[in-house]
Amino acid sequence: GSVRVGDSAALTREFAVRGDRLIAKSMDDRIGCAVAIEAMRALKGKNLPNTLYFVFTTQEEVGLRGARVAANAIAPDYGIALDVTATGDTPKNNSLAVRLGGGTAIKVV
């Protein structure tokens, strides 16, 4: 059939392994969640000198609505967002120092 104005569409992407890399949809969100969960496991049972919150939110792409609600409810002194960033070793994107497999990148905003 043909596509008409107003028709819905969705991209499909299968999970794939390419050497030591994983390829799948929403990996930026999933990797952030995995890192946070591992941090929670590492800190479980530790006597910390402060109150630590882990917040998993939605709607990042539409104005950080979920994160904004959590930040307003908790009112933390500091917040750390786990996300991914663009790399500079892919075509048409060679102005960044970050490269695939090059380790962690920290961005301060």
Structural domain of residue 100, as residue ranges?
Answer: 26-109
Q: Is residue 12 part of a domain?
A: no
Give mean pLDDT, residues 17-42.
88
Q: Is the pTM of this model over 0.85?
A: no
Q: Catalytic residue, from 14, 38, 60, 61: name it.
A: 60
Residue 62 lies in a domain: yes
Residue 2 lies in a domain: no
Instruction: Specify if 98 maps to a domain.
Output: yes
3-state secondary structure the chain: CCCCCCCCCCCCCCCEEECCEEECCCHHHHHHHHHHHHHHHHHCCCCCCCCCCCCCCCCHHHCCHHHHHHHHHHCCCCCCCCCCCCCCCECCECCCCCCCCCCCCCCCC
The answer to whether residue 101 is domain-embedded is yes
The answer to whether residues 74 and 53 touch, using CB atoms and an 8 Å cutoff, is yes
Residue 42 domain flag = yes
The tens digit of pLDDT for each residue in 65-96 reads 778 888 899 999 988 888 777 666 666 655 66
Asked about 60 being catalytic, the answer comes back as yes
In-domain check, residue 92: yes
Confirm whether 19 is domain-assigned: no
Structurally, how many domains does the chain consist of?
1
Q: How confident is the model at residue 7 (pLDDT cuts 50, 70, 90)?
A: very high
